[in-house]
Amino acid sequence: MTVNGDKVTREIEPRVLLVHFIRENLGLTGTHWGCDTSNCGTCVVLMDGQPVKSCTVLAAMADGHDIRTVEGLAVGGTLDPVQQGFMEEHGLQCGFCTPGMMLTARALLDRNPHPDDAEIRQAISGQICRCTGYATIVRSVQWAAAHPLGTDAATDDGGAGATIEEGVTA
């Protein structure tokens, strides 16, 4: 399969779940592993651009597909506008749900660049946050929608583009 643009090949047992393949075989621990029952959504990754719960997909089923994890959100050292939005609007506290929330938000904005609050809430309704609550997450996604090019395009703060060095990694 392709993960964040890189072709990866491993010999695995058929029963290995995609979430464990990503975390343990590839060492990409940004994808979190939570309830294991496809309820909490912290394991969400993008499969061919669509959010899926990776605890309920076999790694073997993802063979030949394009997987994007939170590590693949930033491009060339610049955080994705969604990541910047979560920083600007305090969309995270403990950070456990954050990778899945951001990937679902990215997929939403790719399909619908100007969602209303209800559409954002609908998109993340299969994912659970237990600290900040959803209001700041919705604001974070709205920030990203309002700044499709990130802070470089912002007119109100004049700040330089956020980079991974000065930002957060999940």
Smallest distance from other proteins to CB 154, Å = 29
- Under rule CB under 8 A, residue 115 binds other proteins: no
* Interface mask toward other proteins for 136-165; x: CB under 8 A: ------------------------------
The phi and psi torsions of 119 (rounded to 5 degrees) equal: -70, -35
Please, which residue, 30 or 41, has the CB nearer to other proteins?
41
**Contacting other proteins (CB under 8 A), which of 127, 132, 140, 151?**
127
- Distance separating alpha carbons of residues 11 and 93, to the nearest angstrom: 37
Smallest distance from other proteins to CB 112, Å = 12
* Interface mask toward other proteins for 38-77; x: CB under 8 A: xx-x--x-----xxxx--xxx-xx----------------
- Under rule CB under 8 A, residue 2 binds other proteins: no
- Under rule CB under 8 A, residue 93 binds other proteins: no
Tokens matching residue 137: 């997450």
Q: Residues 150, 153, 154, CA angle at the centre, nearest 5°?
A: 90
N residues, the chain: 170
Q: Single out the residue of 77, 79, 96 nearest to residue 88, CA to CA.
A: 79
- Distance separating alpha carbons of residues 80 and 84, to the nearest angstrom: 6
Our measurement of the distance from residue 133's CA atom to the centroid of its chain's CA atoms, rounded to an integer in Å, reads: 17
- Under rule CB under 8 A, residue 9 binds other proteins: no
Q: Which amino acid is at 136?
A: T
What is the chain's Cα-based Rg?
Answer: 16
Please, which residue, 122 or 163, has the CB nearer to other proteins?
122
Report the interface residues with other proteins, using CB under 8 A: 13-17, 20, 36-39, 41, 44, 50-53, 56-58, 60-61, 104, 122-123, 125-127
